[in-house]
């Protein structure tokens, strides 16, 4: 497969738009669809083309950047299967790994080669080429779309079979979310003790507590700049999947439950569409009366 054939894109949201930009910059033609026509218009301004879902389904390589596992299953089984041929579907969404493994097996006899390709990193990190692809599926399929993967994820790991990419993504996101929580608590604690938060962040980054999260989310927390790079509602969706997976395994995740409670509080506060760094505002809101 070469760069000459258009690549289909279903979902032109925060991440989908970034993926389209990387493909266009690498010389690919992108034909995208989103239920919101305004997002298709933005794709056209970027140099891509907007079309119907039926038109996108004719592409022999289709990238899914939709919100949920339900949407991935619906599009793959109901929109892509009839004219499938030897279509390759790359699923960048974070999904239920067991359902993705079942989906890959279900559509294979219909001519769809399904490759799981979630990415670790914010939309801005992916835009800059710093996102890490977590690939699950047949290595031959991954090799056949190597040029696409090179454009999307210069850094990537082939984790294993379909479902394993999502399992790795959930585990990575668990650690990442708890890092954000620790940063939010640490910054708020430092502020309440009278420290200059900006100066303290620099100290923390130079200390044993340093993490990548500090450089990415720390400035947003300090500036109260919550323009979305990873939305609260998306993070909460992933956290619920982690808890569901843990329940089937008999695994307790006590710190993740606290993270879930904080995110749900943000949603109740009307912050579902804001960047997930806004958890610092919920930590700031959780004050007890002085003795």
Residues 147 and 264 occupy one common structural domain: no
Residue 291 lies in a domain: no
Residues 16 and 83 occupy one common structural domain: yes
pLDDT in tens, 91-101: 999 999 999 99
pLDDT in tens, 160-206: 999 999 999 999 999 999 999 999 999 999 999 999 999 999 999 99
Please say if the pLDDT value at position 81 is more than 80: no
Nearest to 47 by CA among 65, 26, 61: 26
As for how many domains the chain has, the answer is 2
pLDDT, average across residues 27-37 = 96
Instruction: Give the H or E element holding residue 62.
Output: strand 61-64
Instruction: Give the H or E element holding residue 133.
Output: strand 132-136
Look at residue 94 in the predicted model and tell me its pLDDT: 92
Look at residue 5 in the predicted model and tell me its pLDDT: 87
Mean pLDDT for all residues in the chain: 94
pLDDT in tens, 195-216: 999 999 999 999 999 999 999 9
CATH number at residue 242: 1.10.1040.10
Residue 27 lies in a domain: yes
Look at residue 59 in the predicted model and tell me its pLDDT: 93
Residue 227 lies in a domain: yes
Residues 128 and 247 occupy one common structural domain: no
Domain containing residue 76: 7-161
What phi and psi values does residue 187 have, to the nearest 5 degrees?
-65, -45
Long-range pairs of 245-249 with CB within 8 A, sequence gap ≥ 24: 245/96, 245/97, 245/167, 245/170
Look at residue 85 in the predicted model and tell me its pLDDT: 57
Residue 1 lies in a domain: no
pLDDT, average across residues 242-254 = 97
Q: Are 166 and 187 in contact (CB under 8 A)?
A: no
Residues 154 and 11 occupy one common structural domain: yes
CATH number at residue 124: 3.40.50.720
pTM confidence score: 0.90
Residues 270 and 189 occupy one common structural domain: yes
Domain end position, chosen among 161, 176, 199 = 161
Domain end position, chosen among 161, 193, 221 = 161
pLDDT, average across residues 24-45 = 96
Residues 281 and 218 occupy one common structural domain: yes
Residues 65 and 173 occupy one common structural domain: no
Look at residue 1 in the predicted model and tell me its pLDDT: 55
For the residues of 139-162, what is the DSSP string, one character each?
HHHHHHTHHHHHHH-SEEEEEEST
DSSP secondary-structure letter at 287? -
């Amino acid at each position: 497969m070469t760069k000459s054939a258009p690549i289909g894109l279903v979902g032109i949201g925060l991440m989908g738009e970034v993926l389209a930009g990387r493909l266009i910059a690498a010389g690919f033609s992108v034909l995208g669809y989103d239920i919101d026509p305004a997002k298709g218009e933005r794709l056209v301004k970027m140099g891509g083309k907007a079309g119907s879902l039926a038109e996108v389904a004719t592409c022999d390589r289709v990238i899914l950047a939709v919100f949920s596992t339900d949407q991935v299953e619906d599009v793959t089984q109901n929109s892509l299967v009839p004219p499938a041929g030897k279509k390759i579907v790359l699923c960048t969404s974070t999904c239920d790994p067991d359902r993705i493994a079942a989906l890959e097996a279900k559509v294979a006899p219909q001519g769809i080669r399904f490759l799981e390709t979630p990415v670790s990193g914010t939309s801005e990190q992916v835009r800059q080429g710093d996102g890490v692809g977590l690939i699950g599926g047949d290595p031959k399929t991954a090799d056949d779309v190597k040029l696409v993967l090179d454009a999307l994820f210069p850094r990537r790991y082939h984790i294993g079979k379909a479902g394993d990419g999502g399992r790795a993504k959930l585990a990575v996101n668990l650690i990442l979310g708890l890092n954000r929580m620790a940063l939010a608590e640490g910054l708020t604690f430092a502020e309440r003790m009278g420290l200059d938060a900006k100066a303290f962040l620099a100290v923390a980054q130079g200390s044993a507590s340093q993490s990548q999260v500090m450089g990415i989310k720390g400035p947003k927390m300090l500036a109260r700049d919550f323009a979305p790079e990873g939305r609260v509602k998306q993070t909460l969706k992933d956290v619920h999947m982690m808890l569901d997976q843990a329940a089937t395994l008999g695994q307790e995740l006590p710190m993740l439950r606290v993270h879930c409670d904080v995110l749900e509080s943000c949603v109740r506060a009307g912050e579902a569409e804001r960047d997930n760094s806004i958890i610092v505002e919920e930590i700031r809101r959780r004050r007890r009366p002085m003795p």
